[in-house]
Amino acid sequence: MSGPARAFDLVIAGGGPVGAALAALAPPGLRIAVVEPRGPDREADAPVGGERAIALAEGSRRILEEAGAWRALAPEAAPIRFIHVSQRGRPGVTRLGCDECGVEALGWVVPGPALERALAARLGELEHVERIAGHVRALADEGARVRVRVEHGGGTGELEAALVVGADGTASRVREAAGIGTERWDYGQDAVLATLETARPHEGWAYERFTDEGPMALLPLGPRRMALVWTLARRRAAAALRLADGDFAARVQERFGWRLGRLRLAAPGRARHPLRMVRAREAVRGRAALVGNAMRTLHPVAGQGFNLGLRDARALARLLEEAAWDGADPGAPERLAAYARRRARDQRRVLAFTELLVRGFTSPLAPVAWARGLALGLLELAPPARRALARAAMGLA
């Protein structure tokens, strides 16, 4: 690459929820560019009736508060006060309440577009953050700086910085351009998303129900609205999308039961999302670092992808703060190596937990089903273990 380039300290490729959170958390002494192809009006991108709802751990709420985005988001956040985990057609159930954990809520559910709006509004208030419309296409590591080629409607431009962060999602261009390989597998499943209306109020209960077809999560949204995330084998997911709205609701009802009275679709339409695990082999390379889905994309069964990505953003922001305090180079290899080390353990733990749920709770084999019934039953009888699990799920462990 050649020619004049606009200079920044930090270029963030991707203004999705993790990239935007990183820009909001990074120290204000840095000049930051956020390169994002999608316009600020993200709602147009969300499929009607199947918009993604994100379950936030209490630890994530605190990070969003630190990022200055929680106040705008709070009116749209539904608290999770109780969690109910069960399996269809087999014994074994565990329940957890916020009172026994001494917190106001075990977590919060926010509509994905509301989360992005709150973060975008926060970035609009920060003078040191500039939003640039376009795609990052290529990187050139020049030793002390990195050049970033950005393609936009009218052509291409160049930026240069001490550090480029790939927050550009599962198919990360930054990861590829930095030469970081991936490990990946396909679960052969899709998540079917829909918004349900319940005849009875949910009163802050979130449900995770393991069925022989795959796990089904119902998360509180409005007083009688719940977000459904139903993991199904790919061909079943395709069939579920073809069902008429009423037939689909009846199918969900049959699998979920009648705890909340009759279920209907609150908005027409459903969305379907293929489930894959993609993990970068390295978190950093040269002057590039990865965060969020660019670093790893998880199965949503444990609702941990964004929570984990937000912790990446906070860890990197802390390192940038330390560098700013020391008057040091924010993209120095030893700082980035420290970031990779700090994130490795959290990622391993969440990945192992997610895989346990995917493999242990979707297997129809009788011994596995028996073991998970026993595990759920034991958790119900052992409050300290349940509280420890809750603290881990809340991101407070």
Ligand X SMILES: Cc1cc2nc3c(=O)[nH]c(=O)nc-3n(C[C@H](O)[C@H](O)[C@H](O)COP(=O)(O)OP(=O)(O)OC[C@H]3O[C@@H](n4cnc5c(N)ncnc54)[C@H](O)[C@@H]3O)c2cc1C
Contacting positions for ligand X (CB under 6 A): 13-19, 35-38, 52, 54-55, 135-136, 167-169, 173, 191, 193, 229, 273, 292-293, 300, 303-307, 309
Which of these, 50, 16, 21, lies nearest to 221 by C-alpha position? 50
CB of 116 to ligand X, least distance (A): 8
Largest CA distance in the chain: 67
CB of 378 to ligand X, least distance (A): 26
User: Taking a C-beta distance cutoff of 8 angstroms, is the pair 387, 379 a contact?
Assistant: no
Residue 56 or residue 162: which is nearer to ligand X going by CB?
56
User: Taking a C-beta distance cutoff of 8 angstroms, is the pair 260, 290 a contact?
Assistant: no
d(CA 271, CA 111): 14
Q: Which residues contact 396 (CB under 8 A, 6 or more apart)?
A: 57, 58, 59
Residue 371 or residue 392: which is nearer to ligand X going by CB?
392
Mapping DSSP to helix (H, G, I), strand (E, B) and coil, where does residue 109 land? Answer: strand
Q: Which residues contact 327 (CB under 8 A, 6 or more apart)?
A: none
Residue 14 or residue 92: which is nearer to ligand X going by CB?
14
Residue 58 or residue 92: which is nearer to ligand X going by CB?
58
Residue 9 or residue 36: which is nearer to ligand X going by CB?
36
CB of 371 to ligand X, least distance (A): 26
User: Taking a C-beta distance cutoff of 8 angstroms, is the pair 161, 34 a contact?
Assistant: no
CB of 55 to ligand X, least distance (A): 4
Which of these, 312, 349, 307, lies nearest to 55 by C-alpha position? 307
CB of 193 to ligand X, least distance (A): 6
CB of 119 to ligand X, least distance (A): 10
Q: Can you give 16-73 as a three-state secondary structure string?
A: CHHHHHHHHHCCCCCCEEEEECCCCCHHHHCCCCCCCEEEEEHHHHHHHHHCCCHHHH
Neighbours of 23 (CB within 10 A): 28
d(CA 44, CA 51): 11
Residue 162 or residue 229: which is nearer to ligand X going by CB?
229
CB of 207 to ligand X, least distance (A): 13
Residue 92 or residue 166: which is nearer to ligand X going by CB?
166
CB of 179 to ligand X, least distance (A): 16
d(CA 94, CA 377): 6
Residue 215 or residue 292: which is nearer to ligand X going by CB?
292
Token pair in block for residue 288: 């590039």
Residue 30 or residue 167: which is nearer to ligand X going by CB?
167
d(CA 76, CA 89): 35
Write phi, then psi, for 181 (nearest 5 degrees).
-80, 170
CB of 334 to ligand X, least distance (A): 25
Cα-based torsion angle of the residue sequence 159, 165, 170, 175 in order, rounded to the nearest 10 degrees: 80
CB of 53 to ligand X, least distance (A): 7
Residue 149 or residue 386: which is nearer to ligand X going by CB?
149
Residue 192 or residue 369: which is nearer to ligand X going by CB?
192
CB of 117 to ligand X, least distance (A): 13
Q: Which residues contact 201 (CB under 8 A, 6 or more apart)?
A: 223, 224
